A and B are shown apart, each in its own frame.
Chain A
Amino acid sequence: DTGVSQDPRHKITKRGQNVTFRCDPISEHNRLYWYRQTLGQGPEFLTYFQNEAQLEKSRLLSDRFSAERPKGSFSTLEIQRTEQGDSAMYLCASSATGDAFFGQGTRLTVV
């Protein structure tokens, strides 16, 4: 499969725990984006990397959220001290020419 890959697909965690999601973009796509989608809403931008540089972060990305793309390939999104409001679908997308291709997402449920 040469599309954007996200792992895990589903995550259930207890409030207060830390979680980490991984995104593997399409090979040679230098831009990588994270979005969050809650029920009944469109995806909301969280952060964006060009190669390994994090170029933009949304105000939605509180201090509990951190994203990395250490070698300009895969990326991780970590949420510390999860809250029930963090429950959402976390989508990753990658782009080379401006067309963003999305992965299937990681659905996080905080109980």
Chain B
Amino acid sequence: AQSVAQPEDQVNVAEGNPLTVKCTYSVSGNPYLFWYVQYPNRGLQFLLKYITGDNLVKGSYGFEAEFNKSQTSFHLKKPSALVSDSALYFCAVSRTGFQKLVFGTGTRLLVSP
């Protein structure tokens, strides 16, 4: 069975500084990996995905994620954080591109001015 771990409940970063939100996964076969963001009282918004190819994936709003097969990680990164990036971030894994997503417990990102 597939699973996702987001080891940090909360990440604090100052505006303008780089940010990293960590994610590790477990899945049989090649993983399909996703990052979603959730703002208060809103649904999840798709940020980016990794299926195959380049290990560095670029997504929406300046976010990117690095796939590391040996460490089974898919950390979300952004070179310069904005206050408006403050939200709840979820990492998810799927065994194929169309099957169910298995989500982590989420990491709350707080960007201070």
CB of A48 within 8 Å of the partner chain: yes
- Which single residue of chain B is at the shortest CB-CB distance from A107? B41
| Count of A interface residues, CB-CB < 8 Å | 27
Q: Which of A40, A42, A45, A56 contacts B90 (CB 8 A)?
A: A42
Rounded to whole angstroms, the CA-CA distance of A42 and B44 in the bound complex is 10
Residues of the A chain whose Cβ atoms lie less than 8 Å from the Cβ of B34:
100
A17-49 interface (Cβ within 8 A of B): 31, 33, 35, 40-45, 48
Chain B residues whose CB sits within 8 angstroms of the CB of A58 once the complex forms: 100
Q: Is B105 an interface residue (CB 8 A)?
A: yes
Residues of A within 8 A of B45 (CB): 102
| CB<8 Å pairs between A and B, sample of 6 | A31-B98, A42-B92, A42-B106, A93-B44, A98-B51, A99-B46
B43 x A103 contact (CB < 8 A): yes
B42 neighbours in A (Cβ, 8 Å): 104-105
Q: Please report which residues of chain B, range 84-108, place their CB below 8 angstroms from some CB of chain A when the two chains form the complex.
A: 90, 92, 96-106
* Docked-complex contact A101 and B46, CB < 8 angstroms: yes
Chain B residues with Cβ below 8 Å from A41 are: 105-106
What are the residues of chain B within 8 A of A45 when measuring CB–CB?
Answer: 100-102
Chain B residue contacts of A67, Cβ below 8 A: none
A75 interfacial by beta-carbon distance below 8 Å: no
Q: How far is the CA of A91 from the CA of B96 in the complex (A)?
A: 20
Minimum CB–CB distance from B11 to chain A (whole Å) comes to 16
Docked complex: B35-70 residues within 8 A CB-CB of A:
36, 41-46, 49, 51
B41 to chain A, nearest CB (A): 8
Say yes or no: is A108 at the interface (Cβ < 8 Å to chain B). no
Bound-state CA distance A97–B96 (Å) is 11
